Amino acid sequence: MTKTSRGTFVTFEGGEGAGKSTQLGLLAARLKTHGIGVVETREPNGPIRNLLVQGDRNWAPLAETLLHFAARAEHLAETILPSLGEGSWVLCDRFADSTMAYQGYAQELGRPTVEKLYRMVAGRLKPDLTLVMDMPVGVGLDRSLRRHVNHETRYELMGRQFHETVRAAFLEIAAREPQRCVVIDANRPVETVHEAIWATVKERLKVG
């Protein structure tokens, strides 16, 4: 496991409605009880977010990927790298694995292009731990569409097969990098999922 600085970088990945933001908040609260400084953030972030998650525009895959990496470059410069440099834990709801799954796989841009852009934007930065929240596509989409009240439904409306490809992509990414990624069965009660995440964090990152 490669640490990029004094801080610790944990990412939450997975399909729509898998509970990433809920579990990120629970982990942040638990880490704080151990006296650990935590920064909670998400991607896409900043002014580009609305372009990507609202409406129904059919971006060309490369254009969409470049938008994600533009937002990521700013996010790294403004939030992630400074926070890691200060020794904080950074918990991020989605990071580059989502770009790989959604654009690289489901939109068929391909791994090499996404990997090249990642090297340009993030260099050697890698999360210390990536928690891949996995659940059946239908369950996640139902959850997500019930939850959204702010029109951030562009990806949810891309169709069942698109999201099946995304799910398979995340599982393949986790299988490729088992030293970084842990698949969490998210189709369980919230507290059960949290305890599984906490057990993983304690084992992998030596906390508690």
Listed by start position, the domains of the chain span: 8-205
Tokens 């629970």 sit on residue? 26
* pLDDT given at position 149: 52
| 42 DSSP β-pair partners | 93
Give residue 62's pLDDT band: very low, low, confident or very high (50, 70, 90): very high
Sequence-distant (≥ 6) Cβ neighbours of residue 190 within 8 angstroms? 19, 22, 23, 26
* pLDDT given at position 167: 97
pLDDT for residue 4 is more than 50: no
pLDDT for residue 146 is more than 90: no
pLDDT for residue 5 is more than 70: no
* pLDDT given at position 3: 44
Long-range contacts of 29-36 (CB under 8 A, 24+ apart): 30/194, 30/198, 31/89, 31/201, 31/207, 34/207, 34/208, 36/89, 36/207
DSSP assignment letter at 76 = I
Number of H helices, E strands in the chain: 9, 5
Segment 81-90, tens digit of pLDDT = 999 999 999 9
CATH 3.40.50.300 fits 8-205, yes or no: yes
* pLDDT given at position 151: 65
> Cα torsion for 203, 101, 113, 24, to the nearest 10°?
-50
pLDDT for residue 145 is more than 80: no
Segment 149-193, tens digit of pLDDT = 556 678 877 888 999 999 999 999 999 999 999 999 999 999 999
Average pLDDT, the chain: 92
Q: How far is CA 15 from the centre of its chain?
A: 9
What is the percent of the chain where pLDDT is above 90?
78
What is the percent of the chain where pLDDT is above 70?
95
* pLDDT given at position 177: 98
How far CA 87 is from CA of 8, 81, 90, 199, in Å, comes to 7, 10, 9, 22
Q: Mean pLDDT over residues 33-40, rounded?
A: 97
Q: Is the pTM of this model over 0.85?
A: yes
* pLDDT given at position 27: 98
**Which range, of 94-103, 134-143, 190-199, averages the lowest pLDDT?**
134-143
Q: Mean pLDDT over residues 56-65, rounded?
A: 91
